[in-house]
Structure 1
């Protein structure tokens, strides 16, 4: 672990890939447990909403709107919090991921004593909270800016993986992280769907724990990187020391 903490670039890749897994869990739990509503994948939500507006397929309308609104608010809050922040992982990113985890825990509370399908008074607030949390997570990931791992959507990652492949443009690419981003999102969805068989709150609790772990490890990595930078600056300081 110590070795990973000292390798900032590798650490950030691992943490963002871990968030892809958490996203898969949240989206699976949300879609299957909240009347076919995506709470992280807004591309899917826009499509579901558009089809629902036609009245075809008995698809939801209010749920996707609430999720979209929550996601936009969460991403906006993240942008405001990170305004002027230095590039890379900062304490503000840690705080945002911590708040996102807290929101997932809050979303769990009204579902513990109820069974799906949830009444509107329960389902819509939970949907909004999940969208808000995922918007914050997506905003923090955008600021940390690990190439090819946006954490909340893998469409662009799939395009890059295919476009730059041996059968496509045939250029060097970061295919392992791209493949892992797609794969871990899928694995997270499988885990989320399986945990939903136990109860709605179980999957969200797992996702919250993952976010807390990512925030904690990211904070530790930030501290290690800061200490290393301070030590390097002290060694390179040519000013004479006075007793």
Structure 2
């Protein structure tokens, strides 16, 4: 009987070393994504959600009685001016959007309380549910037609705001630097007060500038779809992009573990000694 057969611990240790050796050889020809590539992918996914915010805010403000679905700062200001007697400024719409956005953030926050900083199944389920919410809103606006009743507009804006609250909370939990997906005021402050002051090529070409440009482009696209196609087209595009982020994020957000388990090492050790 060989020494490895007599001592299972030695056999597992040998198997672990054997796996580590073969893994080094494999990595020389088929290395996994680097940390920089992984970070770029994460930033890109957050930028897509930021684009969605621009699209939906354009839909909300221009098509749903001046209600922002993602930019809650705008709703607070509009609500205040409406309560102060501002001409033709809504009160109920912004108020309902604020409440539903907060509800979405609360639900997501409670669901993700024990899972900060890492994509998990709960995030996938939340974003998938949000995708279906947007699909439902698109179908509803398509069926009702271009002349959306005031009450229906408030309901559509409210359910979109609910999804945006979930999205904003997920972005905070994932904690990709400068990627809130729903606001650019703090992003613009950081860009001007830090990057512009520092100067250089990266002062303009960076993720902060990208977030501002992307939310701007989203609002442009949302406006064009609203005016020349239909409100449902803009919401459908947002649903498609949110669903795509959900699938890609679920599959590739987290780095793949390359460490062998003790069980696998023991099995390899047994095969080697036979």
Say whether the fold is shared (TM-score over 0.5): yes
> For residue 207 of structure 2, what is the aligned residue in structure 1?
177
Q: Which runs of 5+ in 1 are unaligned?
A: none
**C-alpha separation in 2, matches of 1:36 and 1:126:** 13
8 Å contact kept, 2:78–2:89: yes
8 Å contact kept, 1:90–1:222: no
8 Å contact kept, 2:42–2:253: no
> For residue 109 of structure 1, what is the aligned residue in structure 2?
139
* 1:147-166 equivalent positions in 2, closer than 5 A: 147-166=177-196
**C-alpha separation in 2, matches of 1:7 and 1:232:** 20
Question: For the aligned residues, what is the CA RMSD?
Answer: 2.6
Is 1:65 paired with 2:95? yes
Is 1:208 paired with 2:236? no
> For residue 217 of structure 1, what is the aligned residue in structure 2?
248
What's the offset of the Cα at 1:56? 1.5
1:37 to 47, 53, 67: 67
**C-alpha separation in 2, matches of 1:107 and 1:4:** 39
**C-alpha separation in 1, matches of 2:35 and 2:244:** 14
SS of aligned partner of 1:186: helix
Larger radius of gyration: 2
What's the offset of the Cα at 1:220? 1.0
Q: 1:175 to 1:91 in 2, by over 3 A?
A: farther
> For residue 29 of structure 2, what is the aligned residue in structure 1?
none
Q: Which runs of 5+ in 2 are unaligned?
A: 1-31
Q: Deviations over 1:166-193 (max 9, x none)?
A: 4x36698795100000000000000000
1:144 to 140, 158, 174: 174
> For residue 241 of structure 1, what is the aligned residue in structure 2?
269
**C-alpha separation in 1, matches of 2:164 and 2:34:** 26
How many matched pairs? Answer: 236
**C-alpha separation in 1, matches of 2:119 and 2:96:** 30
What's the offset of the Cα at 1:109? 2.6
8 Å contact kept, 1:6–1:221: no
The ranges of structure 1 where at least 4 consecutive aligned residues each deviate by more than 4 angstroms after the TM superposition are 2-6, 169-175, 237-240
TM-score, length basis structure 1 = 0.88
What's the offset of the Cα at 1:67? 0.6
**C-alpha separation in 1, matches of 2:176 and 2:203:** 14
Q: 1:139 to 1:174 in 2, by over 3 A?
A: farther
8 Å contact kept, 1:110–1:122: no
> For residue 13 of structure 1, what is the aligned residue in structure 2?
43
* 1:128-143 equivalent positions in 2, closer than 5 A: 128-143=158-173
**C-alpha separation in 1, matches of 2:92 and 2:34:** 44
